[in-house]
Chains A and B, each alone.
Chain A
Amino acid sequence: MSGGLLQIHDPLKPAGQAVGIDLGTTNSLVAAVVNGQPRCLPVDEAGGTLLPSVVHYAAEGGVLVGAQARSQASRFPTSTLASVKRFMGKGRADAETRKLGSYRFAEGAGDVVRFEVAGGAPVTPIEVSAEILRTLKRRAEAFFSAKVERAVITVPAYFDDAQRQATKDAGRLAGLEVLRLLNEPTAAALAYGLDKGSQGTFAVYDLGGGTFDVSILHLVDGVFQVKATGGNSALGGDDFDRAVAEQVLSAEKLTAPTPEQVTTLLAASRAAKEALTTQEVTTLEWEGRRTDISRAQLEAWIAPWVEKTGPVCRRALKDAGLKVTELDGVILVGGATRVPAVRRFAETLFGRAPLGDIDPDQVVALGAAVQADLLTNAQRQDEVLLLDVIPLSLGLETMGGVAEKLIVRNTTVPTAAAQVFTTFQDGQTAIDIHVVQGERELVADCRSLARFRLSGLPPLAAGMTRVEVRFEVNADGLLAVSAREQATGAVQSMTVKPTHGLTDEEVEQMLLDSIEHAEADMHARQLAEQRVEAQRMLADAAKQLRENGDLLEARERSGLEAAMADVKRLSEEADADTLREAIHALDERAKPFIELVMNRAMTRALVGHSVEQP
């Protein structure tokens, strides 16, 4: 028997199970340790564990997430947002916003990406991600029949500070206490390492929908020490889809496709890519046109992206001070590693067959669940420890636009560093501080994280005022900056403004708004869900009537049609409950008809079968 009934609620601690969440570019998952084993939790009625990372904003209000949202993509391409992870922590001028896609970008306060959607004000990637997290939270709560309020959320190892902060803000917005941001390759290693009690040095090659990571880890006595990490947070399976789509567009000489066309073409391209995992040839069908694509063609189109991962891996090995031959194993993670060309490339690069016995889609979520358990389960804390690193150097702008690094990449976190600045003008009472992240020499080539002004300094002669700026990076890889005037010792007033994110006040406000509107939001969501269900039922019923209408007597037929008309009428009104009843009524009406259709299909199959008998 599980100990569930014997657990005593501690009023000081948030109740409930802590979960691990893989917030992916293409799909998201939620997992938890249940009876000592990590497992992915169901996110849909069919028991599937992959929630498509797609969010639909309905014109009448209401938000759909997952497969339901994706079903709206071709009709409402700009209000149905997919692959939003690519824009986390990004500014409006970022290169990501110029890739082929059906997004409509909006203006707004601060340099943060916003999407124009139906049914309300433009939304930021943080808010869209929070919708996905909220859905996962609800599904986990349904599974446990209990509140779920704490989570470990995974991020690409190569995410910079702004991208990490955005992810953490999304968690907060979804009503989750984010116990830890965990690097995806590290999570994968945790899922593998615990299973096998392995020791040694491993490379994790993680190619997801939109991000690429490689991490080199050393495992010994339960300590997972990341030696080096590298990656590209704008490279993934999405790029393969776009490569296919761009080939089709250029073959069709279509230079300005509509958002609808882009959405349907990207979906068809993805399907073709997936088909070519097992087949040598496939046919891409789009707008009535059929294009045959061979695996060799696909491989030629995606080669430039696959090859980009090579130097990244070599640099990570070099940073770890290792040769390929010194590795004890290679772990492949992420849906895009299903592509045969990617597997082959990784195999050649590392000179060995990769480990692959855990589903590459699930392994990150499973590792996150293990970490959530380790963080919250006192009995397990002596077993395992993760020592992770920051992926990109952190620094400050100095004279002449040069970036001075305070903490270099691949430094184990938590860590801290300080730098003393002096004034350069007589009587100067303020210093501007610009925090940047990246490996390049010039500030202009690095990511700008934050700017702040340290004011109220004593007006002394140039060079006399000394200010110590201190960086502290916590175990999440998140940076905090403080500044202290050394003569007085007082920590000076400062305002930090994230360059590509939301301020704490903005997140607080969104949180307050969401609580205030929680009930209205829930109604809107239920209505939107019922509308999708109504759409699906009506399409199904119409199809069956067309194909098998002859099975019905006139009276039965008119009854069914009346039920359909009810559903259609009510789906244009705004009452979710009446619509649900109408859908239920239609379902009941349709049952005997569906039975007749099934019988006919069965009879035909049996007849066909006997005919084929020799």
Chain B
Amino acid sequence: MQCWNCNTETAPGTLTCPRCSKVQPLAPGSTYFEAFGLKPTVDVDLPGLERVYRERSLQVHPDRFSTAQARERRFALEQSTLLNDAYRTLKDRASRAFYLLKLNGLDLSKEDAGTQKDMPLSFLEEVMELREALDGHRERGRLEAALEMAGEVSVRRSTALADAEASLRQLLAHLDEENSRRDASHALARVRYFTRFLEEVNAMEEEALG
């Protein structure tokens, strides 16, 4: 890589040129981990992530370049956009896990990901049961009961997330990749379902708040 302004050689992922300090364009296909100078990992040090986020934001935020030339402003916007999107994704355990699985070849946000089909039957039964119970509470306006269910579901969600993380650690260490990927995707499908369930209860609560 070479600096667009002064042709100095720059390492991949460089934010600003070490010589002329101009903002560099985003390397194509930069990952969220690269935006923080990290290797893909389940275990992110959050205070460290936040600190790097602040430091790099100060370096590349478009407000720092409002009087710069158009080209550098564009690069700053791209770098800052990636940094914001990366920070939002990596600071949250669940979204970080989904992202890691995506980096490893399985994007659960795509409808044709095919994970629902091979989910174990027991999970589908669990889903039906929870759904019927919540619908019942909603129809009778029993917010308290729904909140109680939410408490229990959020415990299940935590467990599923921990399971997913364990499988992702295996996957990242290249141990039994086939099974690790499948286990991670099943666990994350559970996380996704429980998250939606909690969002529905949340919506009920907001409606009750008026």
Q: Which of A311, A381, A472 contacts B81 (CB 8 A)?
A: A472
Q: Does A386 lie within 8 Å of B63, measured CB to CB?
A: yes
B87 within 8 Å of A (CB atoms):
yes
Q: Does B58 lie within 8 Å of A382, measured CB to CB?
A: yes
B29 within 8 Å of A (CB atoms):
no
**Highest count of chain A CB atoms <10 Å: which of B66, B81, B88, B210:** B66
Taking CB atoms, residues of chain A closer than 8 Å to B58 are: 222-223, 382, 385
Taking CB atoms, residues of chain A closer than 8 Å to B66 are: 179-180, 375-376
CB nearest neighbor in A for B50: A220
The distance in angstroms between the C-alpha atoms of A315 and B203, with both chains bound, is: 11
The distance in angstroms between the C-alpha atoms of A475 and B61, with both chains bound, is: 9
Taking CB atoms, residues of chain A closer than 8 Å to B77 are: 414, 474-475
Taking CB atoms, residues of chain B closer than 8 Å to A223 are: 54, 57-58
Q: Does A415 lie within 8 Å of B84, measured CB to CB?
A: yes
A221 within 8 Å of B (CB atoms):
yes
The distance in angstroms between the C-alpha atoms of A314 and B80, with both chains bound, is: 30
A511 within 8 Å of B (CB atoms):
no
**A376-B84 CB under 8 A given contacts A311-B209, A315-B206, A387-B57:** no
B62 within 8 Å of A (CB atoms):
yes
Q: Is the interface of A mostly helix, strand, loop or mixed?
A: mixed
Q: A209-245: which have CB < 8 Å to B?
A: 220-223
**A475-B84 CB under 8 A given contacts A223-B57, A314-B209, A385-B57:** no
**In the complex, what's the smallest C-beta–C-beta distance from B67 to chain A, in angstroms?**
6
The distance in angstroms between the C-alpha atoms of A474 and B66, with both chains bound, is: 12
- Residue interface bits A376-418, CB-to-B below 8 A is 1, else 0: 1010011001110000000000000000000000011111100
**In the complex, what's the smallest C-beta–C-beta distance from B150 to chain A, in angstroms?**
14
Chain A: interface residue total (CB-CB under 8 A) = 28
Taking CB atoms, residues of chain A closer than 8 Å to B57 are: 223, 385, 387
**A385-B84 CB under 8 A given contacts A223-B54, A223-B58:** no
B85 within 8 Å of A (CB atoms):
yes
Taking CB atoms, residues of chain A closer than 8 Å to B209 are: 311, 314-315
CB nearest neighbor in B for A220: B54
- Residue interface bits B69-94, CB-to-A below 8 A is 1, else 0: 00000000100110011011000000
Q: Does B62 lie within 8 Å of A474, measured CB to CB?
A: yes
A324 within 8 Å of B (CB atoms):
no
**In the complex, what's the smallest C-beta–C-beta distance from B183 to chain A, in angstroms?**
28
The distance in angstroms between the C-alpha atoms of A257 and B57, with both chains bound, is: 55
Q: Does A414 lie within 8 Å of B88, measured CB to CB?
A: no
**Highest count of chain B CB atoms <10 Å: which of A13, A179, A314, A416:** A416
The distance in angstroms between the C-alpha atoms of A415 and B63, with both chains bound, is: 14
Q: A264-320: which have CB < 8 Å to B?
A: 311, 314-315
**In the complex, what's the smallest C-beta–C-beta distance from B32 to chain A, in angstroms?**
13
Given contacts A222-B58, A223-B54, 16 further A-B contacts (CB under 8 A): A180-B66, A311-B209, A315-B206, A375-B63, A376-B67, A385-B57, A385-B58, A412-B88, A413-B84, A414-B80, A414-B84, A416-B85, A472-B81, A474-B62, A474-B77, A475-B80
Interface residues of B (CB under 8 A from A): 54, 57-58, 61-64, 66-67, 77, 80-81, 84-85, 87-88, 206, 209-210
Interface residues of A (CB under 8 A from B): 13, 179-180, 220-223, 311, 314-315, 374-376, 378, 381-382, 385-387, 411-416, 472, 474-475
Q: What would be 6 A-B contacts, judged by CB atoms less than 8 Å apart?
A: A223-B58, A378-B67, A412-B84, A412-B88, A416-B81, A474-B62
